[in-house]
């Protein structure tokens, strides 16, 4: 029987270059830390200029950019690829202000949500593929909101459901180039971004703490739960997996 490689051999990302959008905080920062731990050369693309300190702590390079702006996104991808090749793209940056009741939602709100959460993920993947001549792995961050919807988060649910379609379509087209494309649907994860929205969500009838208490494993989600899943999908451990949505939610949607 063939001797299987050890786990550490299989998640060795030495010599690989990765780009993590929105990688300065929350889920993105945890994913960046895990990729660095596995040996990857990581670049964070983040709109927040203060992230440069976090980037230094994480030992990653920092591209201060708004990924919805094409020239800024292209420059960030080029930087991450070191003008050469890119192996991993983590499409993580996203916003989730509560949408409010459908009848009160403006077109501008929906457009802004879709522009970052969907269109920029599409564009980032397209730009990254230009540098993935050796094959690669793209991991898109969706949400359990894509699977079960929710009152007052209709625009967000719509955007994150689109990410699943995008993932499957890209996986089909890019498979022959040995580029795998997968998505993760996180459950409720305690991040700064979520913290900022908790009160507004509660006013709209979504109690984050009650939702955590109701999940089968009774676990409060930390960013590293998602980072471990992203590391798995990004690495050769997931060599046979593409077009997949990995739900990481302590059983909330079970």
For residue 234, the minimal CB distance to ligand NAD (Å) is 16
- Tokens 């292209």 sit on residue: 74
- Give the span between the Cα atoms of 238 and 218, in whole angstroms: 28
- 209 included as an active-site residue: no
Residue nearer to ligand NAD on the CB measure, 179 or 212? 212
Q: Which of 96, 131, 156, 225 does the annotation list as catalytic?
A: 156
- Measured CA to CA in angstroms, residue 144 lies from 24, 46, 231 at distances of 22, 23, 19
Q: Which is nearer to ligand NAD, 95 or 105 (CB)?
A: 95
Closest contact distance (angstroms) between CB of 132 and ligand NAD is 21
Positions that interact with ligand NAD (CB under 6 A): 21-22, 24-28, 45-48, 66-68, 92-96, 116, 141, 143, 186, 188-189, 191-194
Minimum distance from residue 161 beta carbon to ligand NAD (Å): 12
Question: In the complex, what is the shortest distance from the CB of residue 177 to ligand NAD, in angstroms, rounded to a whole number?
Answer: 25
Residue 234 structure tokens: 């990004």
The CA distance from 109 to 113, in Å, is 6
3-state secondary structure 115-135: HHHHHHHHHHHHHHHCCCCCC
* Beta carbon nearer to ligand NAD, 79 or 143: 143
Distance separating alpha carbons of residues 48 and 219, to the nearest angstrom: 30
Distance from C-alpha of 20 to C-alpha of 76, rounded to nearest angstrom: 10
- The catalytic residues are 156
């Amino acid at each position: 029987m063939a001797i299987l490689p050890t786990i550490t051999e299989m998640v060795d990302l030495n010599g690989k270059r990765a780009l993590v959008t929105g990688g300065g905080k929350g889920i993105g920062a945890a994913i960046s830390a895990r990729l660095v731990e596995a040996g990857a050369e990581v670049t964070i693309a983040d709109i927040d200029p203060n992230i440069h300190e976090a980037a230094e702590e994480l030992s990653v390079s920092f591209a201060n950019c708004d990924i919805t702006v094409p020239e800024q996104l292209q420059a960030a991808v080029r930087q991450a690829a070191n003008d050469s090749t890119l192996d991993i793209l983590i499409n993580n940056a996203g916003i989730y202000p509560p949408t409010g009741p459908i009848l009160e939602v403006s077109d501008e709100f929906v457009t802004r949500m879709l522009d970052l959460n969907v269109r920029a993920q599409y564009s980032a993947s397209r730009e990254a593929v230009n540098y993935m001549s050796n094959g690669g792995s793209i991991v898109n961050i969706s949400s359990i909101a894509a699977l079960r919807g929710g009152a007052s988060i209709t625009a967000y649910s719509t955007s994150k459901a689109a990410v699943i379609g995008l993932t499957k379509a890209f996986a089909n087209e890019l498979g022959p180039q040995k580029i795998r494309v997968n998505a993760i649907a996180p459950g409720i994860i305690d991040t700064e971004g979520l913290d900022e929205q908790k009160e507004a969500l509660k006013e709209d009838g979504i109690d984050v703490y009650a939702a955590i208490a109701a999940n089968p494993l009774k676990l409060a989600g930390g960013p590293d739960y998602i980072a471990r899943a992203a590391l798995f999908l990004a690495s050769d451990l997931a060599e046979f997996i593409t077009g997949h949505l990995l739900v990481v939610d302590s059983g909330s949607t079970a």
